[in-house]
């Protein structure tokens, strides 16, 4: 597996490194790990005054300040990694480097929630999401998994994006660890809330309880129909979970209740707004908790 880990010396990139270090099965497969630092270039006038050789040394020294503690951490955990630094817009350069190395995974730390209503994962994270189709693991402030085998929730909705999430989990078992426990999650509509007015204008239930249950059962079966054969062929026997209500809220609550180590989901990933880029469900999950989210791009 080819893994790109952008770092900036913050606690957020420390979280990314800690997550990678927790993956015993993955590290046993000798993955190709690259640490990437993206520096802001000096203004053109300042760069000319400094001189080419001095400028090069300056950038190398600035990059080394960030690499040094990461290097020390990885050495402590006997993890080998290459190092690269680039100049320019961080989101653009991270996406470009992921494309150059054809990364199987980008691991990025995020500051998570803000005081504002809604979620802002940070301009760099959102910028990368908008520019690449490579899978991105967004690590929050949560401590890394204590054991190699993670508790993983894979979200499906009957679309190609849900199938992509399942296929990624099947292709990369070493990421999730030996003995990983999988939950295949689908959130059905809350048909019980449907109402219709009677002749007097009063609100009455549009569906009986039995009809609601049948609709939800059918919706759940349709969502899982295409992925069950894939999981069976791979020898994975997940626990199937049917939730009802708002997908983001329900998945976040389930992740907290079951103490999931990771939520995996597909995402189209393109759009002008942060919620569109990340996906409204993923945005809601992130806003409600600190579980890491793996977004499958393709």
Going residue by residue through the chain (298 aa), what tens digit of pLDDT does each one get? 999 999 999 888 899 999 999 999 999 999 999 999 999 887 766 666 666 778 889 889 999 999 999 999 999 999 999 999 999 999 999 999 999 999 999 999 876 443 333 333 567 888 888 889 999 999 988 889 999 999 999 999 998 989 999 999 999 999 999 999 999 999 998 876 554 455 455 555 567 788 888 988 999 999 999 999 999 999 999 999 999 999 999 999 999 999 999 999 998 654 444 444 556 788 888 888 889 999 997 6
The predicted structure's pLDDT at residue 287: 81
Domain boundaries in the chain? 2-296
Q: What is the pTM of this model?
A: 0.88
Q: Which CATH architecture has domain 2-296?
A: 3-Layer(aba) Sandwich (3.40)
The predicted structure's pLDDT at residue 227: 96
Q: Nearest Cα to 264, choosing from 178, 120, 157?
A: 157
CB atoms within 10 A of CB 238: 20
Q: Are 95 and 132 in contact (CB under 8 A)?
A: yes
């Amino acid at each position: 597996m080819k893994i790109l880990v952008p770092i900036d010396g913050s606690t957020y990139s420390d979280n990314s490194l800690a997550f990678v270090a927790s993956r015993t099965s993955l590290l046993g497969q000798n993955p190709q790990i690259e640490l990437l630092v993206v520096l802001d270039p000096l203004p053109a006038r300042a760069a000319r005054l400094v001189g080419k050789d001095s400028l090069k040394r300056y950038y190398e020294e600035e990059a080394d300040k960030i690499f040094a503690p990461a290097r020390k951490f990885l050495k402590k955990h006997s993890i080998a990694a290459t190092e690269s630094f680039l100049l320019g817009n961080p989101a653009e350069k991270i996406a470009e480097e992921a494309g150059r190395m054809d990364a199987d995974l980008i691991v990025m730390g995020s500051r998570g929630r803000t005081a504002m209503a809604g979620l802002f994962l940070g301009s760099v994270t959102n910028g990368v999401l908008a520019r690449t189709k490579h899978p991105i693991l967004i690590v929050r402030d949560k401590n890394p998994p204590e054991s190699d085998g993670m508790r993983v929730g894979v979200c499906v909705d009957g679309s190609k994006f849900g199938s992509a999430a399942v296929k990624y989990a099947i292709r990369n078992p070493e990421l999730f660890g030996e003995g990983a426990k999988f939950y295949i999650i689908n959130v059905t509509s809350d048909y019980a809330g449907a109402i219709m007015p009677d002749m007097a204008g009063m609100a009455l239930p549009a569906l009986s309880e039995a009809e609601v249950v049948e609709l939800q059962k059918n919706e759940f079966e349709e969502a899982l129909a295409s992925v069950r054969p894939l999981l069976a062929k791979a020898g994975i026997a997940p626990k199937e979970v049917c939730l009802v209500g708002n997908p983001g809220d329900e998945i976040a609550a389930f992740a907290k209740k079951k103490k999931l180590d990771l939520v995996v989901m597909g995402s189209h990933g393109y759009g002008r707004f942060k919620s569109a880029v990340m996906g409204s469900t993923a945005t809601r999950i992130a806003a409600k908790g600190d579980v890491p989210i793996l977004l499958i791009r393709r």
